Amino acid sequence: MFIEPNISGERRGWIEVICGSMFSGKTEELIRRLKRAKIANLKVEIFKPGIDVRYDETKVVSHDANAIQSTPVDNSQKILLLSQDVDVVGIDEAQFFDEEITHVCETLATKGVRVIVAGLDMDYLGKPFGQMPNLLAIADYITKLHAICVQCGNIANISYRKIEQEGQVLIGEKDIYEPRCRACYHK
């Protein structure tokens, strides 16, 4: 990723979005970027939706058990309140946040903060998920990751729900979801 040098001395912010299906490594990549920012002695704050308690109540945890301390919040406006005097803000599972998340990210970037957001771009039906389309539209940098289809081994871009249950949001793991390519999803 090329970052334009800032010769004026002012802090410039931007928005990075990491997206893809479940099991594609989104959270792993988010954690990697945030840990590198910490190594650079930047002040980092990390947030996740309060409803995501799959692995830990306060940590952002990848499927590979990599973890980083975070602050669970129940609405995106709290991110603004808790992000004073920071250089980098990380946000995991952005698809679960309310419609203000786009405004929050834009406000932070305008204030000179590097904002790194990870989330599912599509739900289990292959439809755009939550506010992710809006975040992708305003992002300065986008990384789309793919899992491996458990049916055929090709790249997977859809999180297939293995159980029948209504509703877009059903937090779960490999017991409920598996990554599938487009062809295997539609079989």
User: Active-site residue numbers?
Assistant: 93
Residues 19, 120 contacting (CB under 8 angstroms): yes
Q: Which of 86, 108, 183, 65 is nearest to 94 (CA)?
A: 108
Q: Which of 137, 108, 100, 103 is nearest to 121 (CA)?
A: 137
Residues in the chain: 187
Question: What is the C-alpha to C-alpha distance for residues 4 and 1, in angstroms, rounded to an integer?
Answer: 10
Give exposure, 138-160, as e/b (b: 16+ Cβ within 10 Å): ebeeebebbbebebeeeebbbbb
